[in-house]
Amino acid sequence: MAGIYIHIPFCKKACTYCDFHFSTSLKRKADFVDALIQEIDLRKSVFSDERISSIYFGGGTPSLLSDGELSLVFEKLYDSFTIDTEAEITLEANPDDLTAEKIAILKASPINRLSIGVQSFRDEDLHFMQRAHGSAEAHKCIILAQEAGFNNISIDLIYGTPGMTDEAWIQNLQICFELHVPHVSSYALTVEEKTLLHQQIKSKKLAPLSEEQSARQFELLMREMSDNGYEQYEISNFCKSNAYSRHNSSYWKKENYLGLGPSAHSFLGNTRLWNVSNNLKYIKSLSKGELPLEAEKLSQVDRYNEYIMTSLRTKWGCNIQHLHTDYSKGLVTYFKQQIRAHITDGNIIENKGIYTLSDSGKLLADRISADLFSLD
What CA–CA distance (Å, rounded) separates 372 from 376?
12
The domain locations on the chain are: 2-252, 300-372
pLDDT recorded at residue 229: 97
pLDDT recorded at residue 325: 95
pLDDT recorded at residue 1: 84
Cis amide prior to 60 (ω within 30 degrees) = yes
Strand partners, 357: 348
Which superfamily does 2-252 belong to? Answer: tm_1862 like domain (3.80.30.20)
- pTM of structure: 0.94
The string of DSSP codes covering 56-103 is EEEES-GGGS-HHHHHHHHHHHHHHSEEEEEEEEEEEE-GGG--HHHH
The string of DSSP codes covering 112-130 is -EEEEEEE-S-HHHHHHHT
Q: What are the tens digits of pLDDT across the range 25-64?
A: 888 999 999 999 999 999 999 999 999 999 999 999 999 9
Q: Is 300-372 CATH 1.10.10?
A: yes
What CA–CA distance (Å, rounded) separates 264 from 3?
13
Q: What are the tens digits of pLDDT across the range 283-302?
A: 999 999 999 999 999 999 99
pLDDT recorded at residue 21: 82
pLDDT recorded at residue 18: 86
Average pLDDT for the chain: 95
pLDDT recorded at residue 19: 78
pLDDT recorded at residue 194: 82
Q: Which residues of 140-158 are buried (b: 16+ CB within 10 A; e: fewer)?
A: bbbebbbebebebbbbbbb
Name the stretches of the chain with pLDDT < 70: none
Pick from 269, 250, 264: nearest CA to 53: 250
Residue 11 — φ and ψ, nearest 5°? -140, 155
Q: Quick check: 232 and 226 in contact, CB under 8 A?
A: yes
Q: Say what percent of the chain tops pLDDT 90.
A: 87
pLDDT recorded at residue 89: 98
Taking only Cα atoms into account, the Rg of the chain, rounded to an integer number of angstroms, comes to: 21
Q: What are the tens digits of pLDDT across the range 189-215?
A: 998 888 888 889 989 888 899 999 999
Q: Cα angle at 320 between 315 and 325, to 5 degrees?
A: 120
pLDDT recorded at residue 12: 86
